[in-house]
Structure 1
């Protein structure tokens, strides 16, 4: 099995944004044998501070050894596909062919408004963008007339190292989006928000869609999970709860999560069950094996730090995961 690290790139307004913390996490993942590093992407996050991924991924190239460098996820419908094709070709060259492009539709209305993109157009914009990006990576000169984007007899300034360009993983959390991921993606990114039962249903939908669209059954799937490993399960919950609970309250405010808080008023432990990987090393090892067997996945992305969690705690989890996946 492979394991990637979802890097925290966020800080409270009163904190100093720490490049040292990011480097420490990336170095710890590299030294622990992780196969990849993944960054998030948002705009207009005040009062939360957040680094932007294009520049940060370039900075991380020499810090990450042979690990893949990816996005989980880039908000593609808000961006020019030509710009993304150029940026990711550059990252692929800088990293010697280690770039991965994970994309998703996005949700926050203020981001779409600021970028001048109608939120209702996000699905067709993303599909059209993926098509154009692939053509720009593989053809010397492109003529493309789409609903949203056009290129006339032009080519990008730098070709990727990887034949065909970096793989494009599609994030999806609903049946129609999962079908789209199977149809146009080189892989599927499963978000950390849903519990195991719901993810299991989506995995079945994805496998069926791969067959229907004549895509290889071996098309990869990466499962993103929140993960914290402590000396015992009770202490692990106590240590990570404030930071992780605050993270998901933010998701509730964005409309991305409906089951936590609100009318159901689930406890943190109930919400975490079959959704987060929290415990001591042995119990988390068992849970990872259970997820892998239930879902038929062998690639994970673990987020081990959230706003307010000390960096040393996150690195402890990274090191423990290195032992689990060794």
Structure 2
């Protein structure tokens, strides 16, 4: 069981320089507190998320010593696959073999129009990108001819330091789960699917992985907020959690809330019941065990700060509380 941290701040969080420094401070805290990873994510057209996931991961690598560094997730279809393989391999080298590369297909059309990539091609481009990245990492030279990309006698220098650098794929559709099982080393959930939805998807993913002679590996992205009491947690995180769930429902990132016809129908109870790791340290541990027992989750990639809050001091305190009183139970 591993616990990583994912950073989701953007310019809506404040001055970009200050917010960037806060992300780096959270990353060094994760390294010091014993978390297993400190990962970036992105949207290309958003005030809520920075759009430069790999450059931020490089900065994190330079300031940490032991956590895995990389993305959960970068939008794979928006990159040149060979450049992505090179940049990720260099990150693995300069970090001493700590790369964790997570890629997703994307779900917001604005991300694609921002960089001039057709939204309708996202699945095919991610499929080819995953295959190209793996070929670039494992072959001295390779060629590839697909619907979207063609490369002839290409060599990526340097290769990753790790003998088998991990490539994890995010998904929440049947096709995406099959892709993760076929081409990835693991599946990454989205941040707000319920535990029952995750269990169904994890089962489908593992069945498909078995058909590809793989065991499969499940990583769950979860918003997380430990507190000394539920009342304290609601005070510090309740409004943020509710706004976050409503926003992501409007984006179309949550599809398993029967009866919800508009964002205003969602309550805070809906948010914390089985989607967010929330409450006292013991309640957080109980929630983690529920995801572990029901969905077979092996790693948790935790988001302690949504772009709208809480503030930095409270985030750092929550990370420390989790590390000292929740993670130690596992």
Superposition TM-score tier, normalisation by shorter sequence = over 0.9
Q: Sort the Cα spacing of 1:9 and 1:263 in 2 relative to 1 into closer, same or farther, 3 A.
A: closer
Q: Sort the Cα spacing of 1:136 and 1:263 in 2 relative to 1 into closer, same or farther, 3 A.
A: closer
Report the alpha carbon displacement of residue 184 of structure 1 after superposing the two structures with TM: 1.1
- Paired residue secondary structure (1:66): coil
Q: Sort the Cα spacing of 1:222 and 1:83 in 2 relative to 1 into closer, same or farther, 3 A.
A: same
Cα distance between partner residues in 2 of 1:263 and 1:55: 34
Q: How does 1:227-306 map to 2 (within 5 A)?
A: 227-258=224-255, 259=257, 262=262, 265-306=265-306
Q: Which moved more, 1:77-86 or 1:154-163?
A: 154-163
What is the aligned partner in structure 2 of residue 197 from structure 1? 196
Instruction: Give the aligned length.
Output: 322
Q: Decide whether the 8 Å contact of 2:40 with 2:54 is kept in 1.
A: no
Q: Sort the Cα spacing of 1:264 and 1:11 in 2 relative to 1 into closer, same or farther, 3 A.
A: closer
**TM-score, reference length from structure 2:** 0.91
**TM-score, reference length from structure 1:** 0.92
Q: Which runs of 5+ in 2 are unaligned?
A: none
Matched, 1:214 2:194: no
Report the alpha carbon displacement of residue 60 of structure 1 after superposing the two structures with TM: 1.1
- Paired residue secondary structure (1:106): coil
- Paired residue secondary structure (2:237): helix
What is the aligned partner in structure 2 of residue 36 from structure 1? 37
- Paired residue secondary structure (1:100): strand
Report the alpha carbon displacement of residue 88 of structure 1 after superposing the two structures with TM: 0.4
Q: How does 1:1-326 map to 2 (within 5 A)?
A: 1-12=1-12, 15-18=15-18, 19-46=20-47, 48=48, 50=50, 52-164=52-164, 166-215=165-214, 217=215, 219-258=216-255, 259=257, 262=262, 265-306=265-306, 307-323=308-324, 324-326=326-328
Q: Decide whether the 8 Å contact of 1:17 with 1:49 is kept in 2.
A: no
Report the alpha carbon displacement of residue 13 of structure 1 after superposing the two structures with TM: 6.6
Q: Decide whether the 8 Å contact of 2:227 with 2:281 is kept in 1.
A: yes
Pairwise CA RMSD? 1.9
Q: Decide whether the 8 Å contact of 1:9 with 1:51 is kept in 2.
A: no
